[in-house]
Amino acid sequence: MDFLREAELKHGRICMLAWTGFIAVDLGARIYPLPEAYEGLTSVTAHDALIQQGAMSQLFLWISVAETISSVAVMQMLYEESGREPGDFGLDPLGFLSGKSEEEVNRMKLREIKNGRLAMLAFSGAVTQAVLTQGPFPYV
């Protein structure tokens, strides 16, 4: 069961970031300096441009490295009884959980799971609607 919770948290976190990035591109967010050829891209057409440029290979490489590193922690959790909770990598740089009671921490963890589930559905819907309409946000 821990493996399923780990996967749910990972996919939820990725979709929360993906939803933000997908919409940001359509609202005009860019990382400069960009070649002029990429100025008119939407979220849907950016995918093909990145494949042609070769950036998807780099993305695949770095995601593979991150997955390999995180799989070590997951295997320790599953087979070595390390006491690590699913999705907990010991990172809290902004101190969201510091000074909170156990009840508040559990409530925040539940919110993260629910927001992740919503983000998975929202991202799937946004991508589908963006491809069908071939237009920028709000995809109508």
Torsion angle in degrees (nearest 10) through CA of 50, 55, 56, 62:
-150
Give the list of residues 6+ apart from residue 31 with CB closer than 8 angstroms, or none.
none
3-class DSSP assignment, residue 136: coil
Annotated binding residue 58: no
61 is known to lie in a ligand binding site: no
Residues of the chain with pLDDT under 70: 33-38
110 marked among binding-site residues: no
Rounded Cα gap, residues 105 and 47, in angstroms = 38
Residue 81 annotated as lining a ligand binding site: no
Contacts of 116 (CB under 8 A, 6+ apart): 8, 9, 11, 12, 13, 15, 16
> 11 among the known binding-site residues?
yes
What's the pLDDT score for residue 35? 67
pLDDT for position 25: 85
What is the domain partition of the chain in residue ranges? Answer: 1-53+100-133
**Is the preceding peptide bond at 86 cis, omega within 30 degrees of 0?**
no
Q: Is 117 flagged in the annotation as binding?
A: yes
Q: What is the pTM of this model?
A: 0.81
Q: Which among 93, 84, 62 has a CA at the least distance from the CA of 6?
A: 84
pLDDT of residue 132: 92
